[in-house]
Structure 1
């Protein structure tokens, strides 16, 4: 956690200095950070933090329940990632420039286990977030200039974090795949006597009991 604290302190000092060159250069008001989990593989997000290219830190840009599908009668398929991942459950990151780092700490409720991941955002991704693209938007049947201003993070058992960059009407592109580390102190920073945030929902519990966790598919 010392690494993260250092980043957050640096970001806070930079913010207070008021000397962030390039502030507000985005061609849109904010970008979105969203998170999801494969079918039945429930997670609880302790925190999802962002650090932009000026080292400004946005603590708990997202936390809580990730987006997930829990189809009835065990008809869902948690193996692998969807071809077109959605935007996930998330929030707009206001006041930030393009990100250079994401930090996610989450509880994998199906195992159970707690993980943390540092996700470096490549320069090519940062550049893609600033570039408008002409595209046909099916939602209103019009040609528009759209931007890839949505970062979506998939969180899977075994500590796998996968990231995509997309736009409202643009096909998502791969950004990164990261193997997270186990948080040795356990959930909630070791302050909750090892208890996890939520019990498994019935559909997830039944799926795991019958089929197990498809490690290696993510």
Structure 2
């Protein structure tokens, strides 16, 4: 009920907007552990000015599915990638992110609202020098991206990332099951299909609950 109220709030809540971030746009991205496929129905963002960005992201989350079951889905990476997503041009820094997604290996539909703390926005505003080993250069940059990892069981983790900068873990969230099911009940309980390679992995090794 709480998240349904929040979703309704997204439709109604909008105020005058003016960006205060020190770069043109920040990015939101999504990833999932190996083989643990995810379909994002919607990711809606409210920035600190109160501006609402509905469906800031939807579709598949970034994932690796190595052949012959050679990947390892357990745990989160030490250095998470930027995930699949996009820049929110014109948006101020985020205040809240609402996500509803299908965990295809279960299958189950989850929803959550992530409150972004001021400490995270401070991390995103902070200018830092960093050495980029790929080209051997020092740069001055920002953690201009938020990456959300989505795992079975409704577990989510949020990081702030920037080019050549050390990732900063922001929070871990336990989502709740959306009782309406996939597509807010619009598909008759039918989730999107799991790919053959992920299906083969899960049938052989199962889902490593508790590792995220």
Any unmatched runs of 5+ in structure 2?
none
Q: What residue is the counterpart of 2:50 in the other structure? A: 55
Q: What residue is the counterpart of 1:106 in the other structure? A: 101
1:210 aligns with 2:209: no
- Counterpart of 1:164 (choices 159, 163, 172) is 159
CA–CA separation in structure 2 for the residues paired with 1:143 and 1:84: 19
Query: Runs ≥4 in structure 1, deviation > 4 angstroms?
Result: none
- Counterpart of 1:4 (choices 7, 12, 16) is 7
The Cα offsets for residues 125-153 of structure 1, whole Å up to 9 and x where unpaired, read as 11111111011122332111110011000
CA–CA separation in structure 1 for the residues paired with 2:164 and 2:158: 18
Q: 8 Å contact 1:8–1:56 — kept in the other structure?
A: no
Q: What residue is the counterpart of 2:146 in the other structure? A: 151
Superposition map of 1:125-136 within 5 A: 125-136=120-131
Note the aligned Cα RMSD (angstroms).
1.0
Measure how far apart 1:168 and its partner are: 1.2
Q: What residue is the counterpart of 1:33 in the other structure? A: 28
SS at match of 2:120: helix
Q: What residue is the counterpart of 1:124 in the other structure? A: 119
SS at match of 1:158: helix
Q: 8 Å contact 1:36–1:153 — kept in the other structure?
A: yes
Q: 8 Å contact 2:40–2:101 — kept in the other structure?
A: yes
Which TM-score applies when normalising by structure 2?
0.96
Which TM-score applies when normalising by structure 1?
0.93
- Counterpart of 2:38 (choices 43, 49, 52) is 43
